[in-house]
Amino acid sequence: MYPGEYTLIGTELSFFTRKLEAQLRFQRIPWRYQFKTEARREALETKAGTHFIPLLSTPDRWLLQDTISIGPFLHERFSETPVIPNTPLQRSLCFILEDALNHWLGRVCVHSRWCYPDNVAWVGPRFGANISLDRSIDTPFSDEELAQLSPIGPAMNEGFGQNACAVNGVGAEQAAAVQADFQDMLDVLSSHLRQHPFLLGNRPCLADFALAGASKAHFITDPEPKSWLGQYEAMLTQYTESFFTDDVIEAGAWCDDDKLPDTVASIVNYFARTYFVSSSANIAAGLAGEKFYEYDIGYGVTRARTARRLNQARLHVKDELNLVNAAQDPSVRTLLEQTGILSYYLQ
């Protein structure tokens, strides 16, 4: 491994850029930001072979993309600060919750950002700060800069935002359903985080970085989803900001004897009746060659476009479960078998 500094390439309002930033900070990896500006865009996309962010440039001149693979890569390289447990139940939950949070929160992120005109107007100049001015969103704007950057939000909404909402089945007509489900999730998370600092207990794992990333880029930053937090705002803000500090992030160890906090079961059950209902329908439709799928998690039927990435993510988690022989582990089976989650991954 080459010593030196890692470069995080992306934007501050990006869920997955912030997810990776949270991991870099927790593992105390030497790193710096490089915003993906318009001036850099073509060269970066040519080198990386993708327009997606984030990218991670390593001291050994690798340019990596996709946090699902970058997370374990950094865990192995900086093993003195582990972020993936070794034991079957904890390791299984680490990857399962990361998968669920990566994909289920993405719906809320695009809906809350692009389906509300005031939010679109607010995020535009902040994107502009990164991609046009090459500076942080935290730097105050002049009146002239706000006027210059104000067209960016509507242009991004027209070019990307509305289509992202339509593809995910979370357009403006789904506002009540998205917000109701988001409140359900916050209630479950609050019951857990009132007693435990991180998802698996006293130490963060890959799944925490996903939750913190979505919250930092969207839920505690954009004015629209922030207005939905209500009684949960202090909880989610405290949890999220604990990752985005220049100080050493205080963390203990995962529970002994491969135990989990009792409140993790409620988080698992929440995703069993939401994400896994949707993703099962998505994968079945995709494998059948259908372009769209439908699901109902209690707020009416949602129709969305099938996505190959969900099955790819499922297979990634399946490999991790097989590494620890999760199907034969009594604790894993007790927590996951009745929910259908274990068979979802191992089918």
Share of residues in the chain with pLDDT > 90 (%): 95
140 and 216 belong to one structural domain:
no
Residues 252, 182: one domain? yes
pLDDT at residue 246 in the model: 87
Instruction: Assess contact for 70 and 20: CB atoms under 8 A.
Output: yes
152 & 275 share domain:
no
pLDDT of residue 330: 96
Q: What is the DSSP letter of 205?
A: -
User: Is 135 in the same domain as 179?
Assistant: no
pLDDT of residue 327: 94
3-state class (DSSP) for residue 220: coil
**106 and 120 inside one domain:** no
Q: Are residues 252 and 178 in the same domain?
A: yes
pLDDT band at 234 (very low <50, low <70, confident <90, very high): very high
Residue 83 lies in a domain: no
Q: What is the CATH number of the domain that holds 25?
A: 3.40.30.10
1: in domain = no
Above 80 in pLDDT, residue 2?
A: no
Q: Which residues have a Cβ under 8 Å from the Cβ of 328 and sit 6 or more positions away?
A: none
Q: What is the pLDDT of residue 60?
A: 92
Mean pLDDT across the stretch 130-139?
Answer: 97
Considering the domain architecture, whether residues 227 and 304 belong to the same structural domain is answered as yes
Q: What does the pLDDT read at residue 38?
A: 94
Report pLDDT for 306. 96
Instruction: Transcribe 219-241 into DSSP letters.
Output: ITTSHHHHHH-GGGHHHHHHHHH
Q: Into how many domains does the chain fold?
A: 3
Distance CA 143, CA 191 (A): 43
The overall average pLDDT reported for the chain is 96
Residue 18 lies in a domain: yes
pLDDT band, residue 209 (cuts 50/70/90): very high
- The answer to whether residues 100 and 121 belong to one domain is no
Q: Torsions phi, psi of 14, nearest 5?
A: -100, 125
Specify whether 94 is located in the same domain as 123.
no
Write out pLDDT tens, residues 23-33: 999 999 999 99
Same domain for 337 and 213: yes
What domain range includes position 150?
A: 116-169
Residues 41-61 have pLDDT tens digits of 999 999 999 988 999 999 999
Does a structural domain hold residue 231? yes
Q: Measured in whole angstroms, how far is the alpha carbon of residue 46 from the centre of its chain?
A: 25
CB 57 within 8 Å of CB 5 = no
pLDDT band (50, 70, 90) for residue 78: very high
88 cis-preceded (ω within 30 degrees of 0):
no
Structural domain includes residue 82 = no
Rg (CA), the chain: 20
237 pLDDT band, cuts 50/70/90, is: very high
- State the average pLDDT over residues 243-251: 89
- Tell whether 141 and 259 lie within a shared domain: no
Task: Please report which confidence band the pLDDT of residue 1 belongs to, taking 50, 70 and 90 as the band edges.
Answer: low
- In this predicted structure, the answer to whether residue 152 has a pLDDT above a threshold of 80 is yes
Flag whether the pTM goes above 0.75: yes
Q: Answer yes or no: do 190 and 42 share one domain.
A: no
- Please give the torsion angle defined by the CA atoms of residues 177, 182, 187 and 190, in that order, rounded to the nearest 10 degrees: 180
